[in-house]
Structure formats: C-alpha cells, structure tokens
Structure 1
Amino acid sequence: MQSLIVTGGLAILAGSFVLAWFTGGRQRYLMLFAIALLTVDAAFIGMFLRPYVPDNIALPFSNMAFIAAQLTFGESLLQRRGKSFGRTFIIGMFVLLSAVYVVLYLTSTIEIRTAGINIGLIVIFVVTLKHIWIRRDDTIHDKLIFWTFITLGLMHTIRTAGVFFNQDIANPQSVFWGFLQLYILLLAMILTLELLASHFVERLETANTLRDRDHLTGVLNRAGFERAVGAIYAGRTRVMVSLVLIDIDEFKAINDALGHPVGDAVLRRVGAVLIDQSRAGDIVGRIGGDEFAILAIDLGAEGAGALGERIRRRLDEDASAGQGRQLSARCSVGAATINIERGYETLYAAADAALYEAKRLGRNRVVSGAADSGRDTEQGAGRVVPFVSERRRTDI
C-alpha cells in the first residue's frame, strides 16, 4: 500500500507539471521537473520490484534513475533562473556516477554502495545550490523553493552519514527506508506547490504587464499609466510630483503625407526617447494617439522642465539632422509640479494648460509651470506660471 501511495503520488505531481507546461507557455523547466519526478518514481518502482527481479538488475537501474532524477531536478531549477549545467556536465556526471556505482556494486558492500551514490548526489546538490543561491530581491516563492531544496540535500547527507552507524539504513525494507520514501513524497509535494504557485504568479504578472503595455512604443498604455499613477497616489504623501506631457507636433500631417507605417515609426522613436531620458522609477505612458506622459516623484519644477527640454531637443536633433523621414518629428511639452496631496486631476490640468501654451506659442518648445497655491478654478487647475524653453535657430 505504501508503495502505491508513493509511486501514485509522484505520478500525480508529475502530471500537474505537464499540465502547467501545456497551459503556461511551455516553459522547459516545468517539463524537466515532471521528468525528474517520473524518474524518481521509476527508481522507487525498481526498488519495490526487488523481490521479483534480480538485484543485479533492480539495484543498478534504481540508482542510475536516482542519479538522472537529481541531475534533471537540478537542471530544472537552474533553467527556472535562466541558467544551465550544460550538456557536458550533465552527461559527464551521469556517466561518472553510474560507473562509480557499478564498480562499488561489484566490489563493495551495500553500505559502501549507498554511501558512494549519496556522495555523488550531494555533489550535484552543492553545484545546483551554488547557482540558485537566493538574493535579497527574490520572491517568497524563490526563497521557499531554495530552503526546501536545502532540506532535500540534508536528507541525502544524513542518510549517507547514517549508513556508517546503522547498517539497517541501507536496507530498502527498513523502517528508515519507508520513512525516506514518504519524506521524499512530502518534499516533492511542497516543491510542486511552491513551483506551481511561483509559475502561476509569474504568468499573472506577465498577463498584467501585457495588458498594461502599449505594444507599439513599449511604454504603458493609458489604462496601465492610470493604474500606476493610482498606486503612486495611494502610497505617498507630502512629496512633490511632476507631470510632463509630450505631444507630437503635426502628427496627423505625418500620417497623411507619409502613411501610417511612418507614423508608427515616429511613435516608436518617441517612446524610445522617453524611456531613455526618464529615470528608473518614473512612470512613462502613451495616453493618447500622439500624446505621451511621464509622472515623476521629487523631480522638482526645474527638473521637470529640464526633462521635457531633453526630450524635445533629442527629437528636434533627429529631425534637423534628417535621419530618415521616419524620425522627422518634433514635439511640444507641458510640465507641472505640485504637492501630491493636491490630487492628480489638479496636476494634469496644470500640465495640460502648459502644453496648450506651448502649442499656442508656436510648438516645438517646453512650457513648465506649477499649479498656483491659491484657490483652484472651476476646471480644477490653478494659474500656470510658464517657463518657455529657448528654441534652436533651426526652429525659426
């Protein structure tokens, strides 16, 4: 009965990883982990068949299966981290440990064979551990997987040391061996739940990223930008927040004259410039057909104006240098900076008024202002105090 529980449980867990592989983008580490579980299952089946199969067949088969399972399991954890043992290491370790076991099987006692094979498995464990060592920024799932893996490695170490003090430990019919089977099944269940939970959390995060991303420009779309802004406003007080609005000048004329493929190239170029010029923590989004926005914390009014000017100058230099018609676009920029407690609507209205002023003054310029600290107008914006960037001679 115990044998059926162990083998059946491992097979069910392996099936869950196969299912996750089919439904989760067919990530290779999921299938490798399923193969590792099935290989452990095969090793246990070989041990259970010892009463019916000669030892010179059952024991080498089971131990080689354990070696293959350990290598496959380690490789799956490494591939989850974007790493790999490499084919040479995997084949070399399997051949070496299998040869060592065969030699020990022919020349030594069961205790020495058990210790020898477990020492080999510990070597694989240590190499794997080196590559998946946890970092501070790892998720809780990564840390749980790491510590469960350490527990699994300690099991090999304890069993190896115990063989020299109690020969019964090496006997597959012993109480210890029965406990070992159930313990491995328990660890496999824990690791399965941790890996599957981590996998589905990553899938959800990927889906959210795709949902919030503008696929043409690489920045956030309007919905994603608004969600990110909401998160900023929900978690901070007493800080200055800046909004920089960027509008491509005469974008409709570009589309009409040169076609939508060129218009798309212009949008991609603007998105790339915004990502390049903004800071790591800034929120960059495309909030309209030809309108972009950057929300920044603690940038200051001067910093917001300088950011807008850097963006305007980069696009202006591209257009002035004639780097292909797809890059020939200029922009108008409006920026505003206020205390975050005054609300996003007030900030947006002030930046939008600054952008309107930049267009009214002839486009291809930056107007940087701040909502007045006095009473807001009915539209929600205060007085805009403009700073107008100097235009290059080529703009005139």
Structure 2
Amino acid sequence: MTFVPSALLALFALTFCGIWGACRIAVPDHKCNYLLIYGAGFLVFSMALFSQVAHLPPDGGYNAMISGTLYIGACLILVKGVLARSGQDFPVSFYPVALLAILVPLFYFQYIDKNLIVRIYLLNFGMGAIFLALAGRARFLRYGTVTDRILFWLVVALALHFFLRTLLTVGSVAAIYNLPSTALLSNFAASSFWNWSKISVAILGAAVGLGLLTVSGADIIMGLRSERDNDPLTGALNRRGLDGEMLRLLARSSQAPVSVIVCDLDYFKSINDTYGHAVGDAVLVNFADVLRKSVRSTDLVARIGGEEFVIVLGGMTVENAYLFAERIRKAVQNRHFDQVDSDQIITCTFGITRYRKNEDLWAAVKRADEILYAAKKAGRNRTYAEGIQRPFAA
C-alpha cells in the first residue's frame, strides 16, 4: 500500500496524456495542450511522493530538498495548466519567484537552523498559497460555465486542504520533535501527520484527477459541439446550430414576441472580384463581429450561406427589431473595413418578419428573405420590415 498513492497519481498522468493524444488526432483544431500540462503536473507530484516514501535519495537533507522541489514544481505546473485552459497565465517571473520563495527558507531550516516543524509549515502552506494565488487569478471562472465553476471550487478546495490538513495533524510531529534523529525518522513515518498526508494525497489526488478529467471531458464535448454548430469562418451559428438554439430561445420567450431578421452585404461579389476571396472572408468576419456585438447574449446570430445572416431576437417586436436593424445598418455604412480601400463603402440590407407561434423557423426565414429581396430591389442599403415599408434608405 505504500506506493499506491504515487502509482495512482502516475496513472492520472498517463490518462491525461492519453486523452491529449486522442484529442490531437480526433479534433486537431481543438486547443487541448493544457491536458498535457495536467499530465506533467500529476507525474511530477507522483515523483515527489515516491521520492519521500521510497527514501530516494536516502540522505534526509537531500530527500527533503528534492521532494520539496518536486512538490512545488508540480503545483506550479498544475497552475499553468488550469490557466492555459482559459488562455491565461501568470507573468513568467511568477514561477521562479514562487519556487525560490519556498525553497530558500526550506534550505535554511534544513541545513542552517534545522527545524522540521517550520519546514512542514513552509512546504504545505506554500503549496496552499500557490493554489490560492491561482484562485485569485482565475476568479473569472466563478462567472463562467458550469465546468468553469466546478474547476474554480476544485482549486479552492485543493488550496484550503493544505492549510487545514497541516494545522490538524502537525501536532503529532511536535510530540516527537525532541527525539534523537534516528528515532525521529521512524516515529515521523508513523505519525498521524505523515499518515494523513499520504491518505489525503490519495483521496484528494483522485478527487482532483477525476474532477479535472470531468471538466476536460466536458470541454472536449463543448468543443466538438461548437465545431458542429458554428460556422468555421465567422464563428456565428450555422443552420444546425440555429435550429438547436432556436428551441431554447422559444422556451425562454414562450409568451413574448420574437422577430426574425435576414441580412446580407450589398454587392459582396464585387468585393471578392476586386480584392480577392481572402479579403471577402475578412469582411465577412468583421461583419459577423458587428452583428454579435450588437445583439444581446440571449439573441441568435447565424450565417446560413455566403454573405447571408439570420438574427433572431427574443422578446422584441418587429417595430423594435426595425430600429435595431437600422442601427446596425448605419454602423456598417459608417465603418471602415481595413481590408478594402479607404473610399470603399460597404453596406448591408435587412428584411424583418415576426415569428408566428408554432411555425417552422425556416418558414419565417423565407418570409424575411422575401422582404429582404424587396429591399434590395428597391435599391439596397435599407431596412424593410413586415408592415413597415420604407422606400428610401434612412
């Protein structure tokens, strides 16, 4: 049983590396390198624990410094992995400063002013402080998805564990502290502090490993769902994504009006012909970005083909949707797209209809598309809405 905790941590390390490899093969565009960092963190933690329980190296001082370095390194690697998942990080200086801030006092109280109790506090409180710093840096996770919040509280629990476990069990070491060095070593191995340390590493290591595996699995599933339901160029929903999200929007807006807008860029073919398809794609990306930033978080934006987009506004009448579309139309008309000439004005046209209860979404899209066609026939760069016909662009 002595080596079970370190073996368990090593198994989690292999699992994370395996999932990373499978993710790279199955979903090459998914950013999953943080899984490899998790694996490295668990592997180093396993090595630290193995070093202690196997007494490698056998010299007490060397063992304390090497295992301490590995423990701190494992914590810092896991910190980097958790932040890398969200595309965040600490400044580069944080890692060596945190390592030395714990190691230098450990060295002092190991070789100059020998004090086992102080070393226990330094190492365990130091590791707890590292994870508390992570919780502070990653506090944005508290307001994210369910998996984000799970990860945040997992980090907090891990940090607090180092403080609580040490405070509750360090007394067993204090009771044997004055024994001769040979007796101290054997009694330390039998102390409640050391036994609870091994037990907590096994239990909490398994809990953290399973938690990170669960969060990582959810991340991969969400990534796959995003690739399935989103347009790869603009990041807007595609047809399939729009169908799925529409059901959720209607559930939220069952008693409220819903407006459907179809819009596209005017003379987009001439942009491709003049500047090339790469510039045309860049214009589409910028246009989609304007749409996404203009809607509320509960509204839907989808690209349904070429330069044509659909916007679904829950809880909004056609009259208000008209005003909303007009704001976007004017913003696009007055916007300079960096990819085209400075005198090139890019415009867009909108058609708006009311979503009728229990009708198929695409029936509403077809009506809005017919209204859009009428607006284009009237001259483009204008907004037409069901029951609101404006003969000229505002």
Structure-1-length-normalised TM-score: 0.79
| Residue 217 (structure 2) aligns with | 200
**Structure 2 residue 243 is matched with structure 1 residue 244:** no
| Residue 377 (structure 1) aligns with | none
Over the aligned positions, Cα root-mean-square deviation in angstroms equals 3.5
C-alpha displacement of 1:4: 2.7
| Residue 317 (structure 2) aligns with | 300
**Structure 2 residue 79 is matched with structure 1 residue 62:** no
Q: Is the 8 A contact 1:354 1:368 kept in 2?
A: yes
| Superimposed CA distance per residue, residues 30-66 of structure 1 (whole angstroms, 9 cap, x where no aligned partner) | 3333333222322222223339823233333223332
C-alpha displacement of 1:104: 1.8
C-alpha displacement of 1:170: 7.4
**Quick one: distance in 2 between partners of 1:123 and 1:318?**
48
C-alpha displacement of 1:138: 4.8
Could you tell me the percent identity over the aligned residues? 24
Segment drifting more, 202-211 vs 27-36: 27-36
**Quick one: distance in 2 between partners of 1:181 and 1:103?**
25
| Residue 165 (structure 2) aligns with | 155
Q: Is the 8 A contact 1:170 1:177 kept in 2?
A: no
Q: Residues 92-131 of structure 1: matches in 2 within 5 Å?
A: 92-106=97-111, 107-131=113-137
Q: Is the 8 A contact 1:366 1:389 kept in 2?
A: no
**Quick one: distance in 1 between partners of 2:331 and 2:19?**
46
Segment drifting more, 53-62 vs 340-349: 340-349
**Structure 2 residue 287 is matched with structure 1 residue 285:** no
SS at match of 2:3: helix
**Quick one: distance in 2 between partners of 1:87 and 1:155?**
30
Q: What residue ranges of structure 1 are gaps of 5+ in the alignment?
A: 370-384
SS at match of 2:142: coil
In structure 2, do the counterparts of structure 1 residues 170 and 80 end up closer, same or farther at CA, with 3 Å as the change threshold? farther
Q: Residues 1-396 of structure 1: matches in 2 within 5 Å?
A: 2-24=1-23, 27-50=32-55, 53-106=58-111, 107-133=113-139, 135-140=142-147, 141-153=150-162, 154-160=164-170, 163-164=173-174, 171-174=188-191, 176-251=193-268, 260-261=277-278, 263-264=280-281, 267-316=284-333, 324=341, 328-338=345-355, 340-341=357-358, 344-345=361-362, 347-369=364-386, 385-391=387-393
Task: Letter of the 1:246 partner, please give it.
Answer: C
Structure-2-length-normalised TM-score: 0.79
In structure 2, do the counterparts of structure 1 residues 170 and 352 end up closer, same or farther at CA, with 3 Å as the change threshold? farther
SS at match of 1:387: coil
**Matched length:** 373
- Greater C-alpha radius of gyration: 1
Task: Letter of the 2:109 partner, please give it.
Answer: L
SS at match of 1:335: strand
SS at match of 1:287: strand
| Superimposed CA distance per residue, residues 274-324 of structure 1 (whole angstroms, 9 cap, x where no aligned partner) | 3344344321122233322111012222222123333444455569xxx63
**Quick one: distance in 1 between partners of 2:225 and 2:205?**
30
Q: Is the 8 A contact 2:138 2:152 kept in 1?
A: no
Segment drifting more, 221-230 vs 307-316: 307-316
Segment drifting more, 190-199 vs 159-168: 159-168
In structure 2, do the counterparts of structure 1 residues 251 and 10 end up closer, same or farther at CA, with 3 Å as the change threshold? closer
